[in-house]
Every structure is written in C-alpha cells, then in structure tokens.
Amino acid sequence: MIASLRRIWIVGRRELAGYFDQATAYILLVIFLVTNNFFFFRGVFLIGEASLRPMLDLLPWLLLFFAPAVSMRALAEERNQGTLELVLSQPIEVFEFVLGKFLGAFLFLMVAMGGTLALPLGLSASADLQVGVIVAQYVGAAFLAAGLAAAGLWASSMTKNQVTAFILGVSASFALYLLGMPTVALGLPPTLAEIASNLGILGHVASVSRGVIDLRDVLYFAAVSATFLVLTYSSLMSARLSRAKPGYRRLRLGVVGLVGIAVFAALAGGQLRGRIDLTPGGLYTLSRPAKDLVQGLDDLVTIRVFRSGDLPPQLTTVGRDVDDLLRDFEAAGENLQVISVDPADDPDTESEAGLLGIRPVQFNVYGEDELTVRSGYFGLAVQYAGESEVIPVVTRTSDLEYRLASMIRSLTVTERLTVGVMQGPGDMQLGTEMAIVANRLGREYNVVPFAPDTAVQVVPDTFDVLFSLAGFRQTMPLGPAEADLIGDFLDRGGNVMLMRSSAQVDQQTMFGGSVADVALDSLLLSRGLGVVPSLAFDLQSNERVAIGRGGLGAVAVGYPLWPLGQPLGEHVVTEGVASVPMRWSSPLLIETDSSLVTPFLGTTDAGGRLQLPASADALQDWETLATPEDLVAEALVIGYSDPGGGRLVLGGSSAFISDEVVQTSITGGAGVLFFQNLVDWLMQDEDLISIRSKERAPPRMVWSSDGARNAVRYANLVGVPLLFVVFGVWRVARRRRLERTPWRAGGWVR
C-alpha cells in the first residue's frame, strides 16, 4: 500500500512539475487570476460586504473552462507522443498512473486557488471576516476542482488531440452543471427532476459555500471524481485489451458496476446525516437555547409539515435544510413530534391545511409532454393545546429555527409581556411609521398604544417596557408631562426605550439645526446621560445616496450624516449585527459610572460631531469638517442599567425603526434584528437573542481610506498575477538553460 502511494505521488509530482515547466501554464494562471479578481472587486465593492460570495458565484464558470484547459494535455499528449505505452510498461499499475495524473492536475488547480487567498487577506483590513464560512467555501472550491479535474482527465484519455480533449472536458462538465439547473429539471417528470437535481453539481457547491461541510455533499463529490477516474482507467485499459478476450468483458462489467455504485452513492447519500457547521454561531445547528426550550416542554407540541411530493427543483436545498432542522428539533425533546403529510393524498388533510391558512403555491411542472402550472404545498404549523401558529410557505431557512422557537414559546407560555408605545404628537406612529417592527413585536409581546394626556398621571403597572420613539422625519421636543411619566416609570423599576434626536434637517434646503429639548435634557441629566444637539457623522462607515436626476446622470456618493452604526464591543444584543442605519443621528453624552452603561452602537474612529446650524449637503467637502485629531468614535445607542432595577435604551435616532429605512436601506434588516434584540434585553429575557442573531449577514466593509481600498484591489489585480509571471519567467528560463547545458557523469557542466 505504501509503495503504491509512493508511486502515485511520484507521478503526481512529475505531472505538477511538468505544468510549471511550460509557459502555457503561467498564461492560464494569469488569465484565471486576473479574470476572477477583476469581477470579484466589481461585485464586492458594489454590495459593500466583506464576503467571497461574488467570487463563488463566478468560480464554477471559470473552472468550467480552466479545469479542462489544465488537464487536456495530461493523457492526450502522452498518446500523441507515443510515450503512454512506454510509461505503462514500467513497474506501475494503470490505476496508480491515473491517480497520479489526477493528483498533478488537482494540485495545479489548488495552486491557482491559492493565488486567490490574497482576496480574503485584503478584505480582513476592512472587517472581521467570517473565517469559518471562508474555509468552507475554499473546501467547496476544492471539491469542485477535483470533480472537474477528473472529468478533464477522462476527456484527455479519449483522444490524442488536446483541443478535442478540451471540448470534450467542457461538455462533460457542463452536463453536470445542466443537471441541477431548474430550466432542465422543469422539463422532466417529477421523479426524474429530483434525481437530476441531486446529480447536479452546482447545488452541492452552493450547499458547501454556505459554510456547512455536509457528509452528503462530500459523498457526492467523491462519487463524481470516482466515476470519471474509473472511466479514465477503463479508457486506458481498453486500448491494451483485445475485445475478443474475457478480460475485456470483465473490464466493461466492472466499470459499469463501479459507476453504478458511485451514482447510487451520490443519490442515496441524501439520506445520510452528518455535517460540520463552520458558520458563525452555528447557523445550521440547533442552538442550546432552542434545545432547552424543547426539553422544557411539559406537554406535546406537534409540528405538521404540509408538503407536496412534486415540489419544484429550486426548493430541493430548502427542503433538505427543513428536514435536517426538524429532525434536530424532534431529537431535542420527548414532547415534540414532527408529522409530514401530503395534502394531495388526503382530502381531509387538504381541508385542514386550508383551515390553518396554508394555501397551495403555483410552480411549473412537466406532464404529458408539456409544461403546466400545478399547485403544491410547502408550509408548516406548530400546534399546542388546540392552538396553532403557521408559516404558510417556507421559502428560506436562515431564520427558520428562530421562527419555530418563537412560535413554540408563544404557544406554550401562558402570560405574554406587554410593550407600551407612546403615541403623542411627536412620537412615531405604530400603524404608519413603524408597522414592520410593530408586527415583529406583536409575535412575541402584547403591543399597546399609550397616549398620555392631562388625565394620565402614571404609566400603567401592566407595562413591562415603555417606548418613546420620536418621528424620524419630524423631530419634536419631549413634552414635560411625557418626561415626568417616563422618569417616574424608570424610578419604579420600569424599562424604557428612548430614541430621540436633538437635531432637525430641512430636506428642501438640506440645512440642519438643533432642537432645544429641555424636558429630555432634564430627564437624562439626573442619570449622567445626554443627547448632544449636533449631528453625528462618519467618514468611513456610511450609506450611499444618489445625487442627480436619475438615470445616467445620477451619482452615488457616501453620505457621512447617514452613518452605519457599528457594534461597540461584544454583547449578546449586537451578536450577528453587522451595521445599523442611523440617519441624522445625534451623538450621546455619557458622564456616569461606566459600569452602568453598555455601549451598543457607535461610529468608527473616523466619526465626529457636526456642530449646528450647518449645511447637510451630501456634496460638500467632508474631509475639511475636522482634522484627523478631531475624529473620534461617537456613541449612537447605549444601554443603561438603572440602580433602581430598570433598564434604559437610549439612542440618538429612530431611523432604523421606521418603515421607510427598513424597506430602503441595504442594512434595514440588520436594524430590525438589532431592535428585537434591544427589546429582549430590556425585558431581561434573552433566551431568543442568540437564536435570532444566527441570521447573520456578512460584515460591512469599512476602509480606513480610499488609498487602502485601492491598494488591496491593485495588489490582487496586478501584484499577485505579476508574482506568477516573475516566477514563471525565472523557472522557464532556468529550464531552457539546463536543456542547453551538456550532461556528463557527475552532473551538469556549468
């Protein structure tokens, strides 16, 4: 065994060295890296996230051509030069020779992928990367490269012509791509469509790229590589055996059997379980709070899954993730059961789904030689003690654990906590300005509007949390009566969220002015806090706004007065929060015992205060607003633990709560997540925060300067390919010099 491995390594090492002795190899490497890096930076700077997703979207299509180009000469050149039989006449088995050739091509592809490692290294200068996800993405790229290298090697074994081998390799690889595409699966009957989806390579690449190394995906890629290596072995052996001999028939039968086993393993692997979850917080692994919730159930909870048997192929991955999560829930506690039913099999089940509010969705299927529109179910209901909560259609799984845990807790907890929302003249209105977050709150708490007037002397004791959220667009001072009510509620140990800016921006003139708020200042002063009458800005982390009349005349520029608040330190409230839109926010003043204050959000070190009145025009020269020594991180949202027992969340802007910002900002979803975490922190009920925060977006890129960003871009676009060029010139020149140097006994003649 060891001797066999040694021979495989010798062939692989010789093959890899052969690549680097050819100028063509360096040309391929440079083309691959320049193309990959160019389109990566176009995508990553557009989305503003420190993620390799733009590269992973393009990589399969680059490797579709790059891998066959690398492996096309491996055996075709041996055949063309007549050296194949000479090599196989040496003391080496055919399968060892095939594996060695495969190893050499695979290692060369890994060298090419190694050239892209500078991308995450460069991005690390702008954000804290999700290292586990990146590791999984490179593992997925290695799996894909192995499968395509094996396909290219088989193509090279079928012909003497390298161009023909390249075309055949691309065709075989593209066939694997096509199998998993919805456009192909829609043209097949349901059973064949499911088989094709499982055999398609792109779905398995996407699965690993999420950050999860699943045993089913590992088995699939092993099966793909093994299939093409067996076919390569068959191609070489067929040329050495007479078709009339029994050995040839045994070879054919063995190849068919091995390929059949590989295909069966790829399909049957879907029933296996086992994965390594490298995502931050274990996004695809049931969390400890969810397990504790299920284990603590004192009566039976049923999750009924209504799923049609002929769902469209695009829901295959979603369905697999749903099955995995539900199995984990069911295994976590004895009082939870999962029942999966197909409404098409039973009219009573279909009626039950309709009564629960689970409606069929429409999708395209192929039947009787034509495309038709058919209805199907993919929803679920959590049932307990005669009550139900429903997800009508499951379209994503990134937050499914939280939604299920929230529904289970909502059904099994008898008493719901109450949130009071002040609805005075200057407050954000529940139904019109903050309907989205109010709807989220209503899933877990009783949300009660509270309109203080002269007859109201005290906040009801039934309130667990009281909100005072100033309107985002129209800032108004806090009334003295409202301030007294809030102060009294805090003194009685109540919990308060207070989001109010002390600045106002006229959107017609784009001029900002301060808003005197005596009652607010008085309320906060006794606690050593304050809202500074100015506008916070951030020169590094901010939203971009379109300037111009639209179309080709519009220009997107960074707007420092719309800072993207960054988490200040590690805390359960900001876990999973990348950045939060804090438009026209006032900075906060903190002059109290630091042990009472928990900073949640703030600007970067390139932040500061714009003293008012001042222009708020996006096109002004922001760099002249402050010298570098004046720039400092400003607090935008903090938590305050009152010595009396209550908690206060203080923020300088209510922007991230408003429907307008949630729907228009690219980080609006993070704002909703942050808001829900704040409410749980105020309730001192943080069980669901760690589950909810698992829905993690990649961190936002925050560059120290344009120079740093451009340095990373051009180091990858020019620097890395140039290193390969320099190494290639040196190695090829050295090789040619050695070829011209005569050999004598004892070594080369210098």
Domain with 677 in it: what CATH number? 3.40.50
Burial per residue of 77-87, b for 16 or more beta-carbon CB atoms within 10 angstroms, e otherwise: bbbeeeebeee
Segment 578-627, tens digit of pLDDT: 889 999 999 999 999 888 999 999 999 889 999 999 999 988 888 777 77
pTM (2 d.p.) = 0.75
Q: Are 463 and 497 in contact (CB under 8 A)?
A: no
pLDDT for 216 = 83
Looking at the predicted structure, is the pLDDT value of residue 189 above 70?
no
Least confident piece of the model among 537-551, 640-654, 731-745: 731-745
Residue 30 buriedness (CB in 10 A; 0-12 / 13-18 / 19+): middle
Please name which of 403, 136, 399 lies closest in space to residue 284, comparing C-alpha atoms: 399
In sequence order, the β-bridge partners of residue 505 are: 512
Q: Is residue 18 part of a domain?
A: yes
Phi, psi of 736 (to 5 degrees): -70, -35
Q: Is residue 554 part of a domain?
A: yes
Q: Is residue 715 part of a domain?
A: no
Q: Are strands 495-499 and 647-651 parallel, antiparallel or unpaired?
A: parallel
Q: Are 608 and 630 in contact (CB under 8 A)?
A: yes
Looking at the predicted structure, is the pLDDT value of residue 367 above 50?
no
In the chain, what is the greatest distance between 2 CA atoms, to the nearest angstrom?
Answer: 110
Q: How many domains does the structure of the chain reveal?
A: 3
The CA distance from 596 to 588, in Å, is 15
Q: Are 175 and 199 in contact (CB under 8 A)?
A: no
Which tops the pLDDT comparison, 313 or 129? 129
Please name which of 419, 304, 285, 293 lies closest in space to residue 355, comparing C-alpha atoms: 304
Most confident of 71-80, 247-256, 361-370: 71-80
Tell me, yes or no, whether 142 and 191 share the same domain: yes
Looking at the predicted structure, is the pLDDT value of residue 178 above 80?
yes
How open is the CA angle 705-709-714, to the nearest 5 degrees? 140
Of 354, 378, 409, the last residue of a domain is 409
Q: Is residue 301 part of a domain?
A: yes
Tell me, yes or no, whether 295 and 271 share the same domain: no
Tell me, yes or no, whether 403 and 262 share the same domain: no
CATH number at residue 331: 3.40.30.10
Please name which of 228, 224, 230, 218 lies closest in space to residue 263, comparing C-alpha atoms: 224
In sequence order, the β-bridge partners of residue 495 are: 465
pLDDT for 35 = 93
Segment 479-512, tens digit of pLDDT: 888 888 899 999 899 999 999 999 989 888 889 9
pLDDT for 688 = 72
pLDDT for 89 = 66
Average pLDDT over the chain, rounded to an integer: 84
Q: Is residue 717 part of a domain?
A: no
Tell me, yes or no, whether 347 and 238 share the same domain: no
In sequence order, the β-bridge partners of residue 214 are: 275
Q: What percent of the chain has pLDDT over 90?
A: 30
Res. 188 pLDDT band, cuts 50 70 90: low
The CA distance from 467 to 470, in Å, is 10
Cis previous bond, 289, omega within 30: no
What SS3 string covers 119-155? HHHHHCCCCCCCHHHHHHHHHHHHHHHHHHHHHHHHH
Which residues, 6 or more positions from 395, have their beta carbon under 8 angstroms from its beta carbon? 318
Range of the structural domain that residue 86 is part of: 2-280+722-731
Cβ neighbours of 98 (radius 10 Å) = 28
Tell me, yes or no, whether 136 and 41 share the same domain: yes
Tell me, yes or no, whether 272 and 381 share the same domain: no
How open is the CA angle 653-658-659, to the nearest 5 degrees? 160
Average pLDDT over residues 75-91: 72
Q: Tokens standing for 399?
A: 């937050």
Segment 237-294, tens digit of pLDDT: 776 655 656 665 666 666 666 667 666 666 666 566 678 888 887 778 888 888 988 9
- Mark out the alpha helices in 269-315 (DSSP H runs): 288-295
The CA distance from 698 to 48, in Å, is 10
Least confident piece of the model among 312-321, 565-574, 579-588: 312-321
Average pLDDT over residues 71-100: 78
Looking at the predicted structure, is the pLDDT value of residue 166 above 70?
yes
Which tops the pLDDT comparison, 483 or 556? 483
Q: Say what angle helices 288-295 and 316-332 make with each other, to 10 degrees.
A: 50
Tell me, yes or no, whether 322 and 178 share the same domain: no
Tell me, yes or no, whether 105 and 133 share the same domain: yes
Res. 88 pLDDT band, cuts 50 70 90: low
Which tops the pLDDT comparison, 550 or 131? 131
- What is the H or E stretch that residue 558 is in? strand 555-567
Which residues, 6 or more positions from 446, have their beta carbon under 8 angstroms from its beta carbon? 416, 417, 418, 419
Tell me, yes or no, whether 388 and 337 share the same domain: yes
Tell me, yes or no, whether 305 and 272 share the same domain: no
Segment 445-464, tens digit of pLDDT: 889 999 877 566 788 888 99
Please name which of 539, 552, 598 lies closest in space to residue 573, comparing C-alpha atoms: 598
Q: Is residue 622 part of a domain?
A: yes
Q: Is residue 620 part of a domain?
A: yes
Tell me, yes or no, whether 255 and 295 share the same domain: no
Segment 99-120, tens digit of pLDDT: 999 999 999 999 999 999 999 9
Of 409, 444, 475, the last residue of a domain is 409
| Alpha-carbon distance values, 261 to 115, 196, 738 (Å) | 36, 17, 48
- Mark out the alpha helices in 180-315 (DSSP H runs): 182-185, 190-199, 201-209, 215-238, 246-268, 288-295
Three-state DSSP state, 650: strand
Q: What percent of the chain has pLDDT over 70?
A: 86
Q: Tokens standing for 328?
A: 């984990």
Looking at the predicted structure, is the pLDDT value of residue 679 above 50?
yes
Tell me, yes or no, whether 314 and 259 share the same domain: no
Res. 561 pLDDT band, cuts 50 70 90: very high
Q: Is residue 742 part of a domain?
A: no
Looking at the predicted structure, is the pLDDT value of residue 168 above 80?
yes
